[in-house]
Structure 1
Amino acid sequence: MQNSKSYRKNLKKEIKVRSGYENSITPQSLNKPSQRRKKNTIIFVIRIILKFTIYNSFFPDQAL
């Protein structure tokens, strides 16, 4: 029993530390979602450009 009790105590302490770590707002953690969004938009634009260039190379007579 003593072993499980200390395990639970350590688990509670670890949960507190982790939740505090995740809740702490740093400029880097604020930047992450916007950077991900920016990366996705860049990839999206590149994919559209590639689609148009591939399509135009296969069908040069059809203007899009």
Structure 2
Amino acid sequence: MYFQWTYPEAKIMICSIEIQRINKESWFKSSAGIKHVMGELMRCGTLIYRCNSWLLSTNKR
């Protein structure tokens, strides 16, 4: 999302992979998979929040 916001003309191609036996079909079947995926999701949310805060602060000037 951040990349698309920064480079709106770019085409984003997503290719799912398997890491540590965690993939798109199995991530929710183990506590390790859930922890890994939710950690990534949390980091994405934090980044979006920071970008939004920055945008709001720059628009006030």
TM-score bracket, normalised by the shorter chain, equals 0.3 to 0.5
TM-score for both structures, normalised by structure 1: 0.45
- The structure richer in helix per residue is 1
Determine which structure has more spread, i.e. the larger CA radius of gyration: 1
**Which structure carries more relative contact order (alpha carbon 8 Å, separation 6+)?**
2
TM-score for both structures, normalised by structure 2: 0.47
